[in-house]
Amino acid sequence: MYPPPGPGMYYSYPPPMLVNCSSCRTPLQLPAGARSIRCAICQAVTHIADPRSAPPSSQPPAPSAHTPPPPPPSSSPSPYNHALPGAPPHPHGRKRAVICGISYKYSRHELKGCINDAKCMRYLLINKFKFPEDSILMLTEEETDPYRLPTKQNMRMALYWLVQGCQPGDSLLFHYSGHGSRQRNYNGDEVDGYDETLCPLDFETQGMIVDDEINVTIVRPLPRGVKLHAIIDACHSGTVLDLPFLCRMNRSGHYVWEDHRPASGLWKGTSGGEAISFSGCDDDQTSADTSALSKITSTGAMTYCFIQAIERGHGATYGSILTAMRNAIRSVGGGAGDLGGGAVTSLISMLLTGGSVGLGGGLGQEPQLTACEPFDVYAKPFSL
C-alpha cells in the first residue's frame, strides 16, 4: 500500500548516545557534549573520556591499584534488573511490561482513576496473558521505592529497561494512564504541527516527555521478531508513539491507514520489529477520567474499555478490540458500563472503592490504533 522507506531514511539525525553507569551498569542517555553524567539509580558519576586525549589501544588498560574495576553486569544492583542470572528464556519468548499510573495527588491536576487503571492492567497481564509478576515494572505514587515513583527520570529509565536486551520472540508492553498534552512542533515531522506528550508526576518542574523521545527509546531499537504494544490512556494520545501509520476508522467499522511519515523522510518505525499502539483518543481530543463506565468509581475510560473488550470476548483481532472499545465509549449513559463478569471484573470490583459523579450522553473521545506498518485489522490476531 505504501512504499517501504529507503535505505537512508532510518536515522536522519544521530540516535542518543547511551553509556552504561560505571557502578550499576544501567544505560544512561548522555546529553550532547557532556563529559560526565550522574546515575539517577545509584547516584554514581560516570566520566566520559575524550577520544582525542589518548591514542587508540587494542588492549584494555590495567586496573589501577587505587581504582577498583567496575563490577561485571551480572552483579548489577539496578532495581530494573529483574531477570535471574543465567535463567533460561521462555520457549515462546520473554514477556516484559512497564505500567505507569499517575494520579497527581494533592495537586490541581489530580486524577482519580489512574492508580486503578494500573492495578487492573497488571492483573490482566498476569492472569489473562501470563506475564510473570517479576517482569512487570509498576510506576505509581503508591510505590514505596523512590525509583518506582512516576517521575520523568524514572519513566525514562523504565522505558530503557523495557527494550534493553530484547530478543526475537519477546513481547513488550507499555501502559500509561495519566495526563497527556501537546506542544508546537518546529522540525516539521508532525502532520498536525504538534508533538504529543506524556506528563510525568514532576512535569511542572522537569517538563514533559515528548513523542519524539518515546519513539527513539522504545520503537526504533526494536529488532526483528520483537513485538511491542502500547496502551496509552491520556489526552492527545493518538500518535504519542509517533508511529508512521494511523488506522482511521469510521463508525461503521470501515477504515483506511493514514500515512503519518514525515515529509523530511525521517523514519519513525522500528529496526525490523513490530510496534502497535492503542490510545485513548485522537491527537486533538481529550480522554475521560470518569465513573460513568464502572458505575462505582473513576477509571480511565480507555483502559476500562480495553479490559472490557478482552473480557467480553472481543479480543480476537485488533479491529474487534478497537470497535468494541469505541462502541462502549459511545454508549456511556445507555447502561453498557457493566463488564459482565469474569476474573478481571472481580478484581475491578475489589479495587473500585469510593466514587465520583458520572457523566452521561457518551464521551467525546475515540480510541485510536497506530502501527509501524499497515495491516488488515480484522484478520491480524491480537496477542500479547
Select which of 175, 179, 229, 314 is catalytic. 179
The answer to whether 21 is a known catalytic residue is no
CA 160 to the chain's CA centroid:
11
Q: Whose CA is closest to 240, among 261, 267, 264, 213?
A: 213
CA 256 to the chain's CA centroid:
24
State which H helix or E strand residue 17 sits in: strand 17-20
Residues ≥6 apart with Cβ < 8 Å to 252: none
The answer to whether 235 is a known catalytic residue is yes
Select which of 235, 247, 281, 372 is catalytic. 235
Question: What is the C-alpha to C-alpha distance for residues 193 and 171, in angstroms, rounded to an integer?
Answer: 32
DSSP string, 94-162: -EEEEEEE---TTSTT--SSHHHHHHHHHHHHHHTS---GGGEEEEETT-SSGGGS--HHHHHHHHHHH
Residues ≥6 apart with Cβ < 8 Å to 221: 163, 166, 270, 271
Place of cell 498476569: 126
Instruction: Show which residues are catalytic.
Output: 179, 235
